[in-house]
Amino acid sequence: MHKFFLLLFLAASLPAADLKVGVARIKITPEGSIWMSGYASRDKPSQGVAQELWAKALAFDDGRGRVVIVTTDLIGLPRSVSDAVAAQVQKQHGLERGRLLLTSSHTHTGPVVRPNLNVMYDLDDKGDRTLREYSQQLTDRLISVIGAALGDLAPARAALGHGNAGFAINRREPTPTGVKIGVNPSGPVDHDVPVLKITSPDGKTRAILYGYACHNTTLGGDFYQITGDFAGYSQEEIEKAHPGATALFLQLCGGDQNPNPRGTLDLAEQHGKALAAEVSRVLQGSMKQVRPPLRFAYRAMELEFAPHTRQTFEEQLKSSNRFVVRRAKLMLRAYDEGRPVRRVQYPVQAIRFGKDLTLVALGGEVVVDYALRTKKEYGTAEGLVVAAYSNDVMCYIPSLRVLKEGGYEAVDSMIYYGQPGPFNEQVEEMVFDGIHDVMKRVGRKPEKR
C-alpha cells in the first residue's frame, strides 16, 4: 500500500510530458477568377495564379493540453470566419477558443474574404456568389487543416532564434499638409525575424514558423494574379532549402511598414528570398530550446470610436468619393436601426511555452509602436513575439502617436473597413489593458525598471 502511494506521489511530481507537434497544410487558392482584396483601385477580378495560396497548421501538445497556430496566405480573416472555425474545432476536437490562433499574412494579391474591407467592392450577383462560396470553402478547409495537424502529433523538439531583415521601412511620411503613405527612413521599425524550428527526435526539420513586421504589399493594385507576395515567396524558398519541412509565415506588427523598394513581381521574389536567407542563417546558428508547459489566455474586449453623430454621415452622402458615400450609407442604416456603431470587438491572445517563448497575438492591422512598447515593458530575454492580423482583422489599430498624427492608418482606412471613423484617444491604453491581462494570466510579468 505504501509503495502504491509513493508511486502516485512520484507521478504527480514528474514534469509535464515531452512536447508533441503536428503539422499540416491545405491549398486555399481560389478556383477560377475572383475579386482580389487590398486595393480600392482594382476594377476587375483576378486573372490567373502566379503562386498557390496555403493554410498551414502547427499543433502543440504538452501532455496536459493542446494549442494550434494557423497561418493563411490571405488579406485577413474576419471574425465571422474565425468564430465559425473555432466553434467547429471546439465541437470536433474539444479545443477551447484560447487554444486556437488564426493568423493571416495580409497579402494584397489574394481573394476578398467577406466581409473584410466590404466598402471597397461593388459586386454584381455573380461576384458576390463567388465570394460567398469561397468563404464557405475556406471555413471548411481551415477546420480540415486543424484536424489534420492534431492527427499528426508526434514527439518533437522546438528551438527559437532571432535574425534581422532590413527591407521594411516606415511608410508614414510627414509632409506640410499632413502624413501620407510614402517613405520615412527615420520612422520606427522592428526588423526582428523570430524563428521557431520544429524537429523530430532524429533531428529532421519538420516545420519552421517565422515572422516579420512588414505590410505584404510589394505588389500594387495594378497586379491581377493571385500570389502570397513576399511572404509567400519566402515560404517557398525556405521549403526548397529545407526539403520535407513546412514553412509558416507569421505577420507581425507591420500596419505602418512597407517593403522598400516595391512595385514588381521581381521585387516580391527578391524580398522573399532575402527573408528566407535570413531564416536559413538563423536555423544554422545557435538556437534556444523551447519547452513545455503550454499556457494560454484569450480576451475579447471592446475598443471605442471617437464620438460621431448622424449629421456627420448625412454630410458625407454629398461626397464625390464613392467609398465615403458607401460608408456613410452603412452608418446611416445603423442609425436607422437604432444601433449606431460606437465600438468594435477586439481579440487579444497570449500563448506561452514554458519560460522560453511568449507569443502575443493582436487583432487588426497593428502599427509597430505596439510591438516596440510590449518588448520594452516585458523584455526579450525570455523570447517574446508580438503578432498582428490575428483572429479578426476589423481595421487598423493606431497607437496614440499615430492617432494624433492622423493619416491613412488612423483615419482614411476606416472608410474602407466600414467603420465610423477614428478611435478615441484611449485606444492604445485599452489594447494594453488587454495585453497586460493575458500576459498576467500566462504568468508573464513586466520587467522592473
Average pLDDT over residues 152-171: 98
Structure confidence by residue, pLDDT tens digits, 342-390: 999 999 999 999 999 999 999 999 999 999 999 999 999 999 999 999 9
pLDDT band at 116 (very low <50, low <70, confident <90, very high): confident
- In whole angstroms, what is the distance from residue 335 CA to residue 353 CA? 46
Q: Give bridge partners of residue 163 from the DSSP assignment.
A: 193
Contacts of 43 (CB under 8 A, 6+ apart): none
Percent above pLDDT 90 for the chain: 92
Where do runs of H (alpha helix) occur along 123-264? 125-150, 229-241
The reported pLDDT for the residue numbered 121 is: 86
H or E element at residue 13? helix 2-13
Query: Residues of 223-257 as b/e, b for ≥16 C-beta within 10 angstroms?
Result: bbebbbbbbbbbbbbbbebbeebbbbbbbbbbbbb
pLDDT score of 309 more than 90 = yes
Grid coordinates belonging to 12 = 504527480
pLDDT single digits (tens) 391-413: 999 999 999 999 999 999 999 99
- DSSP letter for each residue of 331-375: HHHHHHTT----EEEEEEEEEEETTTEEEEEE-SEE-THHHHHHH
pLDDT greater than 70 at residue 17: no
Interacting residues of 188 by C-beta distance below 8 A, sequence separation 6+: 170, 368, 369, 372
More confident residue, 16 or 52: 52
Average pLDDT score over residue span 281-304: 98
Report residue 276 as a C-alpha cell.
528566407
Range in 105-119, 250-264, 300-314, 334-348 with the lowest mean pLDDT: 105-119
Q: Which of the four pLDDT bands, split at 50, 70 and 90, describes residue 449?
A: low
Nearest CA to 28 out of 138, 119, 107 is that of 138
Q: In the predicted model, what is the mean pLDDT of residues 421-442? A: 98
Per-residue pLDDT, averaged over 151-180, amounts to 98
d(CA 120, CA 329): 13
Checking if the pLDDT of 196 tops 80, the result is yes
pLDDT attached to residue 8: 39
What pLDDT, on the 0 to 100 scale, is given for residue 7?
41
Residue 240 confidence (pLDDT) above 80: yes
pLDDT at residue 10, as a whole number: 39
